[in-house]
A = this chain, B = another copy of it.
């Protein structure tokens, strides 16, 4: 009943408002897709109004792009802090795979946003100046691990860094992104701890098995 101290009543804070809009918008877009997301619903879930969305972001589409940019920026930040190069090549790539697994497991909304963006043929990413053709730090890291592994003789398969990145990402992405159809069809909840732990081991074994050449023909 008693009101807050006068200074905290309806205090103005552009950064905070902007940040809150982005956060709520990320939830809404991830939950309902771009077309399914409702600007009014985003507004309703905030302590401010729809007017502010347009004040700070201009349109639903620009808000969505801003959400994408923020989400990708966070991922890049994580990738930049990866530190596996002190390990031997085999352990390095296995650890990278497992950390990628953990990261995907922990960032479901980012994965949904990427899936949504792909449904729209990445048209919004292409519209974003911040996101176009930027690549990602892991690629260099993978490149170096592959070189080291080839030099040491641990890796037999000649592999391309982008391919390896895709192989790891595919596994980690799929089990989160497709958990619902998979669950509905096979009755297995892939997010359950026992499956998660086993699958975490699988990524590593898969990628190392591939690079060691265990699957080579004849």
Which A residues lie at the B interface, using CB under 8 A? 32-36, 94, 112, 114-122, 125-126, 131-136, 139, 157, 160, 162-163, 166-167, 169-171, 173-175, 177-188, 190, 198-199, 202, 204-210, 212-217
A32 CB contacts on chain B under 8 angstroms? 35, 119
Q: Are A173 and B170 in contact (CB under 8 A)?
A: yes
Kindly report how many copies of this chain are found in the complex they form together: 2
Complex Cα gap A190–B181 (Å): 24
A-B contact pairs, 11 of them (CB 8 A): A94-B215, A112-B119, A115-B178, A118-B179, A122-B180, A125-B185, A167-B202, A205-B215, A209-B216, A212-B215, A214-B214
B215 A209 Cβ-Cβ under 8 A: yes
Q: Are A125 and B181 in contact (CB under 8 A)?
A: yes
